[in-house]
Amino acid sequence: MQKPFEKLIALFPERSLVIRSGSDTRYIVLKTWHQLMAACIAGLFFIWSTAASVGFSWNYDARLVVEAELAKTVATNQAFIAQLENDQKNAYELRQAFNNEVQKNEEWVSRFESIRNVSDEVLKRSSPENITAFIPWFEDELDTRIRSVEQSNADLTELVMDMSGSVAEISGREAPQAVDDVGSWLSSVADDLANAYETQSVAMEILHDTMTLTLARGFATLDGTPLADPEFVGFLPSFGTGGPSREIDGSKHVFEKFRDRSDRLMALSQDWQALNTMLECAPLTPPVDYYNLTSAYGKRKDPFTRKPDWHEGVDLGAWPGTRVRATAPGVVTFAGRKGGYGKFVVVDHGCGIETAYGHLKKIYVKKGDNLNHRDALGEVGSTGRSTGPHVHYEVRIKGKPVDPYQFIEAGRYVFKDQKLTVADAK
């Protein structure tokens, strides 16, 4: 063992290296271990280079295999990515299509709800919420409505023909045979009807003037009495003062003129009815046929105390036993004794008018009796707070006393031929 090592060392004896540089000379001694170290380093480098070359050669094939696999993997991934992008594009398109379908469905649902709401409002009933059930329901309702419209048209046609018949009777012309002929037929009779309406309008205007004059005269009967005051009776004549005028707007159609005159006549008729009712209720005659006015309505001296007093009626002196008569038709609401009035009778004539009769000697009636005008209800006497035979006579309108003598004065225009007579004592 010692010999191979020695042989190895013998191969590397100590050497000197001479280095000259101009006049300078340097010596470098290479000892044996330096040489051995250099030889080891060179050997190691050679071994590493050889091993590296062999390893590189072997790894190069593996690297080619890996690169091939990597390229294949990259290609596969790229194909997958392309497929994924295509799938995403398809998914987006499907999503858009889905959203479009959802929007269309929402629009259809909205339109369906609108149709349902309109149907419910028109038909006044609830419709099915399901479109499957709504369609046949709507078809049935539509068919029913169509039949109703057809029936209405038939009824309208019948009405038009009936009206044409009525117009034919008024005009004296033969009625049309078909609804299509009604229009031209009405045009042909329009002039005749206009002339007829014009003639009737003139007659109505003359009647209006006559009624106005009569109504004015009748209303004058109540003039000077509380009944002429609208505050008491709520009645005011529509004709006013000066009478009506025949001046009517010439631009109005003849039928409008006819209606205008008709409306005015209707107003006059209502006033006439109101006036007649009021005249029937008004006490326009004295309660006794022969009398002497012993005490007027209003302020006076009390016959007993001689102090100022208010008299709510009139005292009509007459012979004892003279019949006291109802001054207008009415119903007896009181008959009996009442304090200072003595024997007392109250009659309700309607229209808010009452009359009262006091100090009677006898009473012929009882509460609830119906009296006609001039029916006897008692006899003149001096019962109650009285200084002598007379009838205390009151007129009340809506419970408020008024002057009875105003009605007696007004009645003189109505009963001009009435003569004062002495009534029977019995």
Residue 249: HSE in the Cβ half-sphere, 13 Å Cα cutoff: 8
Decide if 290 contacts 389 (C-beta within 8 A).
no
- Burial class from Cβ neighbours inside 10 Å (0-12, 13-18, 19+) for residue 160 reads middle
Report which listed range, 216-230, 232-246, 289-303, 362-376, is most confident. 362-376
Is the dihedral angle over the CA atoms 372, 377, 380, 382 positive or is it negative? Answer: negative
Host H or E run for residue 348:
strand 343-350
* Structure confidence by residue, pLDDT tens digits, 217-247: 666 666 667 776 666 655 555 554 444 444 4
| Rounded Cα distance, 259 and 360, in Å | 56
Return the number of other C-beta atoms located less than 10 Å from residue 307's C-beta.
7
Name the DSSP class of 313: S
Mean pLDDT across 249-276: 67
- Is it the case that residue 206 has pLDDT exceeding 90? no
State the chain's mean pLDDT as an integer: 77
Structure tokens at 239: 């004709």
Q: Which of the two residues, 283 and 239, has the higher pLDDT score? A: 283
Give the three-class secondary structure for 382.
coil
- Is it the case that residue 194 has pLDDT exceeding 70? no
* Structure confidence by residue, pLDDT tens digits, 346-360: 999 998 899 999 999
- Per-residue confidence (pLDDT) for residue 412, from 0 to 100: 75
Decide if 319 contacts 335 (C-beta within 8 A).
no
DSSP 208-220: HHHHHHHHHHHHH
- Is it the case that residue 328 has pLDDT exceeding 50? yes
Strand partners, 310: 299
Radius of gyration of the chain (CA): 66
DSSP 12-53: S--EEEEEEETTEEEEEEE-HHHHHHHHHHHHHHHHHHHHHH
Mean pLDDT across 313-318: 94
- Is it the case that residue 325 has pLDDT exceeding 90? yes
Q: Which of the two residues, 385 and 22, has the higher pLDDT score? A: 385
Decide if 197 contacts 248 (C-beta within 8 A).
no
- Is it the case that residue 388 has pLDDT exceeding 70? yes
Mean pLDDT across 280-301: 90
- The architecture (CATH level 2) of 292-414 comes to Distorted Sandwich (2.70)
* Structure confidence by residue, pLDDT tens digits, 128-184: 766 677 677 777 777 777 777 777 767 666 666 666 666 665 665 666 667 666 666
Of 119-128, 143-152, 417-426, the range with the lowest mean pLDDT is: 417-426
Decide if 322 contacts 288 (C-beta within 8 A).
yes
